[in-house]
Amino acid sequence: PLVTGVQTCALPISAGIAACAAAAWQNSRMTAAFPFVDRVRFEGPGTRNPFAFRHYDPDATVDGKPMRDHLRFAACYWHTMRNGLGDPFGMPTALMPWDDGTDAVTNCLRRADAFFEFLEKCSIDRFCFHDRDVAPEMATLRETNAVLDRVAEHFAARMQASGKRLLWGTACLFAHPRYMSGAGTSPDVKVFAHACAQVKHAMEVTHRLGGDGYVFWGGREGYSSLLNRDMPRDLAHMARLLHMAVDWKAELGFRGALFIEPKPREPSVHQYDFDAATVLGFLREHGLVGKVTLNIETNHATLAGHEMEHELRVAAAAGALGSIDANMGTPHCGWDTDQYPTDYALATRVMEVVLASGGFVHGGLNFDAKRRRESWRPEDLFHGHIAGMDAFAFGLKAAAALRADGRLAAALRARYTSWDSDLGRRIEQGGASFTELERLVADEHVGPPASGAQERLEDTWNAVVWDGRGRR
């Protein structure tokens, strides 16, 4: 789940550890938010230093390209800076000494400074944010935009000084009560208009900050009962919002990509952007193909009952694999646990698809991940990101090794050789009929295809990935 902006703390922060921490901060003379670490650097697989990379060596090349350019890591502002780690049953636990818990602009700026210190020290080149993560909502949209512009100016200065880049921006269209029944799909036209106005400004700020992309995640674009929702009308409205965003992008001169992020449920019971295939169908129906591509999140794939690899391959096959929200969930519960993607095998499978589709253009790997509630120390922000970055660096090397090895690709090609015959090609090109195919097989005993040999292929995968060759 995403906790952001006004919804950061379900329970009063004054009741939690965070409040004690803020008081301690105010009484202290600390000038750095993360004084316990200088800079996380590559030390190699043998290191015992928990603040070092074992696999991520940003400038080392894999297949002729530096790791940092393959992976395009981003930290997200919402979980990193705004998630107090409260849950529906318990108060926030996160220690955030740099944050006094208020919406004062000075607090927003201090928080941004802590974030840029984090990016620098953790060697993360990019970031993502929602408009309401970085600046509060005021009485009117005009006032809200003015505060957002003020904070964005500060971001621009910090980006300039540090060389950090914006992967993507987005608008929070789900936290405020006005969006309780959706934003682009709200039954209330004024709410729809507000959503459009908010997206307009969030796109403008993203453009100003040189973002590579802009994301639409429709957390409340869905319903809990069809008794009070006109589904086809909702979908048509959502398409209208996206078409206006495409027009606005042209008017702005924004060169980045527009992404939709599928998710089947949570917070809505039924969400319209269920999975990659559903979203692609929607884009095709509404003339949005090629204008909007997909941002695929691992935990959302899990919720939709798919493997991440399935979602990525569906998107890639349509030429619509835009970006990735790199996290992972647990199959044991039905919600978005947003864990750091620390699983090396999962990261390898993701990177196999990324390499096969030619790599990221506008997208990257955004850690849409949060710490466990028990991991409440600022140090844990580093450990989560380091573990995720190392997993993906390993995955990149292993995926490149699988491609260089070539056995799996060869086995896949071999399985389809019968389709490379004249007959196969004619069928593929639409030049065959039922009558012809019936004549062909009528007097033959057609037996089974060659063995799928899944276990042999899995063993080969293991040999390349784990038996030394996937590592450096």
Using the rule CB under 6 A, is 273 a contact of ligand XLS? no
Residue type, 78: W
Select the binding partner of residue 215 from Ni ion, ligand XLS, none (C-beta < 5 to 8 A, by kind): ligand XLS
Residue nearest to ligand XLS (CB): 217
What is the largest distance, in Å, between two alpha-carbon atoms of the chain? 90
Using the rule CB under 5 A, is 133 a contact of Ni ion? no
Would you say 54 or 300 has its CB closer to Ni ion?
300
Instruction: Name which position in 133, 137, 352, 368 contacts ligand XLS (CB under 6 A).
Output: 368
140-179: contacts with ligand XLS (CB under 6 A): 170
Active site residue 130: yes
Using the rule CB under 6 A, is 302 a contact of ligand XLS? no
Instruction: Name which position in 125, 212, 311, 336 contacts Ni ion (CB under 5 A).
Output: 336
195-224: contacts with ligand XLS (CB under 6 A): 215, 217, 219
Other C-beta atoms closer than 10 Å to the C-beta of 304 total: 20
Do strands 222-223 and 270-271 pair parallel, antiparallel, or not at all (unpaired)?
antiparallel
Task: State the binding string over 107-136 for ligand XLS (x if CB under 6 A, else -).
Answer: -----------------------x------
Task: State the binding string over 374-403 for ligand XLS (x if CB under 6 A, else -).
Answer: ------------------------------
Would you say 322 or 470 has its CB closer to ligand XLS?
322
Active site residue 212: no
Query: Could you tell me the smallest distance in angstroms from the CB atom of residue 165 to ligand XLS?
Result: 18
Using the rule CB under 6 A, is 99 a contact of ligand XLS? no
Query: Could you tell me the smallest distance in angstroms from the CB atom of residue 174 to ligand XLS?
Result: 8
Looking at 133, 234, 380, 390, which residue is catalytic?
Answer: 133
Using the rule CB under 6 A, is 2 a contact of ligand XLS? yes
Query: Could you tell me the smallest distance in angstroms from the CB atom of residue 81 to Ni ion?
Result: 16
Burial label for 209, CB within 10 Å (0-12, 13-18, 19+), is: middle
Instruction: Name which position in 117, 325, 352, 390 contacts ligand XLS (CB under 6 A).
Output: 325
Using the rule CB under 6 A, is 185 a contact of ligand XLS? no
Would you say 1 or 187 has its CB closer to Ni ion?
1
Query: Could you tell me the smallest distance in angstroms from the CB atom of residue 262 to ligand XLS?
Result: 10
Write out the residues near ligand XLS by the rule CB under 6 A: 2, 130, 170, 215, 217, 219, 261, 263, 297, 325, 336, 368
Residues that bind Ni ion (CB under 5 A): 297, 325, 336, 368
So which residues are the catalytic ones?
A: 130, 133
